[in-house]
Structure 1
Amino acid sequence: MSNETQGPDGTDRADRNDRSDRATRVAALRPAYQADLADGVDRFFAPRRTTCPWCRSDRLTTRLRTTDLLQHKPGRFVLDRCEACGHTFQNPALNETGLEFYYRDFYDGLGEQRMGGTFGGRTGMYRGRAESMLPHDPTPKNWLDVGTGHGHFCAAAREVLPGTTFDGLDFTDGVEIAEREGRVEHGHRGSFPELAPDLGARYDVVSMFHYLEHSADPDRELRAAHQAVRPGGHLLIEVPDPESRYARVLGRWWLPWLQPQHLHLVPVGNLRRRLTELGFTVVAEQHAEPHDPVDLLAAVWLALDHIAPREDAPWLPEPPGALRRGLRGAVLLAGAPVFVAATLLDRFAVRPLSHRLGLSNAYRLVARRE
């Protein structure tokens, strides 16, 4: 490394500038976050439900109690399970104010660069998702990706389907970035159910990759999809599998719980039946293919990050001192061998057997609109 990019203490100047820039942004955001938290977090939640939002049964049990293990924003979250149909849902659920608070600076703002790098590096997974459509429609003319984020799936899928026009829809400014960067042809910003009537059965394929679980009303989203898919076209859905054995074995450290963002986790049988009721025919169900081999690695990271002192964030009353920063680095460094072991187990031991062992963390359905 040249002296032009290295500081007198041997650190990379670009890294130091990034850290300094982030510290400045955190300090600027802190007053607004502290004002939001001045009256506590109860105002972020809707009243607790006494019946299942999927089947209306009152046979509810508590499945999980946890905190925000990714951003570490204040709050405690409960997932209930319906004993009648198996649907798992956040209860009490975040209201609109709460959703805005907990999504803020996750995918955009402070989190934009980090999440952009995470999603941008998953080209193989995105290609696999696109390839799952080939047996059912190898030449779709147009495709709408709902919950597209920054459009990285669409950019990768274009390599699999070069003759397809990809549009994206999202309620964040990520879709505008996707259009500006040329990853999508058209970016629709807003609520899918509200925009669907104007889309008018236009698309050969509508995809929802890890989108439905974020919705406050999954059934409304499915009805919107029925409006946007042309007759004979396909709906492609991928969601976390709440029936995965990992969900029980890893408990709160199972990444797909993703509290407080995931509001509904739908068992595959429930989703198949609802799609049939709406006028779709499920033509494919996959479990092994959508499995993302990160469960053990993510669990180790979440646990170590939980016990390590916090890194600076605007929802903390004050920035951590040098001692806390040093302790955090020491904890994460000590966990490095466990990270390596967990990664090897995820990719080489569990992945080939994930579906057979009931450990697949996601499932994918392809449904044709009749």
Structure 2
Amino acid sequence: MSEDTESTDRIARLRPAYQADIAAGWERFFEPRRADCPWCGSQELTTRLRTTDLLQHKPGRFVLDRCEGCGHTFQNPRLNEQGLDFYYRDFYDGLGEKQLGDTFGGRTKMYRGRAESMLPYDSAPKRWLDVGTGHGHFCAAARAVLPHTVFDGLDFTDGVELAEREGRVDRGHRGSFPDLAPELASHYDVVSMFHYLEHSTDPDRELRAAWETVRPGGHLLIEVPDPESRYGRLLGRWWLPWLQPQHLHFVPVANLRARLTEMGFTVVAEQHAEPHDPVDLLAAVWLALNHAAPRDDAPWLPEPPSRLRRTLRGALLVAGIPALVVGTLLDRFAVRPLSYRLRVSNAYRIVARRD
């Protein structure tokens, strides 16, 4: 059986369950809209963005509100547990597992850079916990930088079990980080959260779990999208880091620094240029093309696309190749060297020491 035929059959098997979920109404996937900021409690909220699912094209509309009091941006109304299950399904696992695994597995240079950011503060940590590790690709790459460090991973998906079987992590912890934190208390020299905090329903609770897990004198390493990036305004809904509906919270760097200090951490480094991932323009072009083109086959569509629609999709994507190439060149060679000066860095990184 060819790979295409196998994928088609798999989608057909999944379609009835997805269609039943959709028929019950996607509005049930949301909590009530809140009138105050989940970070500071202010009721001065403004709408920053309205969008749809631009990656999987599952049904639904999503709103990001910004607090005028502290600058925190958050999904409002927020997905509930049913909604998180529906929109995460077949993204990192299932139908999307191979594609995302290939994407993450090919970013070795970026992963090594993340590990190297710890060297000035701890050149030889004994134990490192990577929270939200996925399939453990960071830990596998980081061994080249820190060959004597034990790397454990934590995730709520079965990807962490795969990471342990494949030897990418020494030990995999599956479950909620706040729930597992008591048994891991003061166990690690370094705890990392790379693009994890924005996915959490309660960032403050995750930070408290990190404080509990890091040993006194150890370090917490956080990297998240930067909601103050100018690209967020210039590209609007086409800015990839908004990643709706998965990203629930966007914390300005000043807010995170203050909260960590309150908890008993000392921030020893703040980086903006180093964690910038030069993909913004390429991703914006791709999202726009993918939005304009007829949909690819997916089980959340009522039926497979016709041959004509598949042909039109292919033709539009081919026609967009020059724009994708231009976006790539601008990202890597024009914008990247100036990302911090232009204030378009799409992420920031903080290293904090538990006192």
Q: TM-score, normalised by structure 1?
A: 0.96
Q: Which amino acid aligns with 2:108?
A: T
1:264 matched to 2:254? The reply is no
Which aligned pairs between 1:1-370 and structure 2 lie closer than 5 A? Answer: 17-370=2-355
CA deviation string 1:46-103 (max 9, x = no partner): 0000000000000000000000000000000000000000000000000000000000
In 1, the alpha carbon distance for the partners of 2:156 and 2:3 equals 28
In 2, the alpha carbon distance for the partners of 1:264 and 1:203 equals 26
Give the 3-state SS of the residue equivalent to 1:159 in structure 2.
coil
Q: Percent identity?
A: 79
| Shift, 1:350, TM fit | 0.1
Q: Number of matched residues?
A: 355
In 2, the alpha carbon distance for the partners of 1:39 and 1:26 equals 20
In 2, the alpha carbon distance for the partners of 1:138 and 1:21 equals 47
Q: Which amino acid aligns with 1:126?
A: Y
In 2, the alpha carbon distance for the partners of 1:344 and 1:68 equals 27
| Shift, 1:17, TM fit | 1.3
In 2, the alpha carbon distance for the partners of 1:310 and 1:235 equals 41
CA deviation string 1:271-316 (max 9, x = no partner): 0000000000000000000000000000000000000000000000
Report the counterpart of residue 12 of structure 1 in structure 2.
Answer: none
In 2, the alpha carbon distance for the partners of 1:21 and 1:270 equals 48
Give the 3-state SS of the residue equivalent to 1:204 in structure 2.
strand
In 1, the alpha carbon distance for the partners of 2:27 and 2:79 equals 10
Q: TM-score, normalised by structure 2?
A: 1.00
In 1, the alpha carbon distance for the partners of 2:169 and 2:252 equals 31
Q: Which amino acid aligns with 2:119?
A: L
Give the 3-state SS of the residue equivalent to 1:298 in structure 2.
helix
Q: Which amino acid aligns with 2:310?
A: R
